[in-house]
A and B are shown apart, each in its own frame.
Chain A
């Protein structure tokens, strides 16, 4: 389903990456916690899980996310996304050519992570529905991508592409507004959402800094 781009949710939640380490179904508890929180983008990014377990988790998440109208994106694996009934696939920068994924899986939304203005420009031309750009701010989980890119780079990326851009890396509710000012469509994060108990209020706080 290709939702109108202007209507993609502004808040983009990325799963913990800990599902393979006895996290007792954290992503399912996260999904259950946001039932009444309105739509978000939810990326299932669990590189430690094999495909069989990813599919079964994705299918259960799809059901849990239904009431909030959230969109489920499966990291990298369009096959698992399709089999699970997810709305889309989120591609890493080093992935199959986006155009081939688009034509092979026409029913899926396709987004991509990019880490430079050039990569963003290339991805923007390849037919993605949205981009995730970062790390905008310093963040331990993205240290391998080098120093933070900063708001100026974010602004350049947003100017360079016509698709919605989500800022990622060190995102807090307070920093969200600065990202939007620089042209981001929304913001993405892992760590603010690791406690399902506080998720509804965290999401509400984020929303207060984001356009409706």
Chain B
């Protein structure tokens, strides 16, 4: 499975119904949906995942599951996204097989190089800008890191962290293949419109 070119990935937040959010994000042009909710039970995640996968298929978008390789395998998601505290990427790749999409979060070149060696298909690089999604122990990387990581690993870089319509152009110019957002879409009054706005900016 291949990644789209210049794309918006919408990650579910901890508040809104993930299926409804996915529906709106896809209507707004998101090409990748990532299901992420650490507090949910396995049953909830599985049921959401099955429905979001159907929506993604209908929109020819990719569906990936955060952290839970077991659920991704059980419901045959397009792939998984792993943070540095999740299963090691090499172990996940061994279970997922060569065709699944494997994204790995990195915040520096070393982590990105390791991710590539372990079989990652793309690097989720962040946080690029200040973000309120989580308390971050390190300062934002800035857009220059996108080019550095891309050059060092040769994999698509999906930028994450504080990305909004005002800074998308700078992110894409820096060499990102895509952007990933949580609150910029999930927290918007109108998630479809927010996604559409970001997608327009990606292509400008």
Point out the residues of chain B lying under 8 angstroms from A80, CB to CB.
70, 87
Cβ-defined contact, A51 with B67, below 8 A: yes
Cβ-defined contact, B41 with A92, below 8 A: yes
Cβ-defined contact, A97 with B46, below 8 A: yes
Q: How many residues of B are in contact with the other chain, CB < 8 A?
A: 23
Cβ-defined contact, B43 with A96, below 8 A: yes
**Nearest CB in chain B to that of A98: its residue:** B74
Interface locus among A30-38, A62-70, A100-108, A151-159: A100-108
Q: Mark A135-149, 1 if CB is under 8 A from B, else 0.
A: 000000000000000
**Nearest CB in chain A to that of B67: its residue:** A51
Is the contact region of chain B dominated by helix, strand, or loop, or is it mixed?
A: helix
Cβ-defined contact, B44 with A79, below 8 A: no
Beta-carbon contacts under 8 Å, B42-97 to A: 42-46, 67-71, 73-75, 84-88, 91-92, 94-95
Q: In the assembled complex, how far is the CB of residue A149 from the closest CB belonging to chain B, in whole angstroms?
A: 21
Point out the residues of chain B lying under 8 angstroms from A101, CB to CB.
70, 74
Beta-carbon contacts under 8 Å, A38-96 to B: 50-53, 55, 76-80, 82-83, 89, 91-92, 94-96
Q: In the assembled complex, how far is the CB of residue A113 from the closest CB belonging to chain B, in whole angstroms?
A: 12
Q: How many residues of A are in contact with the other chain, CB < 8 A?
A: 23
Q: In the assembled complex, how far is the CB of residue A12 from the closest CB belonging to chain B, in whole angstroms?
A: 21
Q: In the assembled complex, how far is the CB of residue A144 from the closest CB belonging to chain B, in whole angstroms?
A: 14
Cβ-defined contact, B88 with A96, below 8 A: no
Point out the residues of chain B lying under 8 angstroms from A78, CB to CB.
70, 73-74
Cβ-defined contact, B87 with A95, below 8 A: no
Assess A94 versus B70: contact at CB under 8 Å? Given A51-B85, A55-B88, A82-B95.
no
Cβ-defined contact, A105 with B73, below 8 A: yes
Cβ-defined contact, A79 with B42, below 8 A: no
Report the bound CA distance from A101 to B43 in whole Å.
12
Q: 16 pairs across A/B with beta carbons < 8 Å?
A: A50-B85, A51-B85, A52-B84, A52-B86, A55-B88, A79-B70, A80-B87, A91-B42, A94-B41, A94-B42, A95-B46, A96-B70, A96-B71, A96-B75, A101-B70, A105-B73
- Beyond the given pairs A52-B85, A52-B87, A79-B95, 18 more chain A to chain B contacts, judged by CB atoms under 8 angstroms and listed by A's residue number, are A50-B85, A51-B67, A51-B86, A52-B86, A76-B70, A77-B68, A78-B73, A79-B69, A80-B87, A94-B42, A95-B46, A96-B42, A96-B43, A96-B74, A97-B74, A100-B74, A100-B75, A105-B70
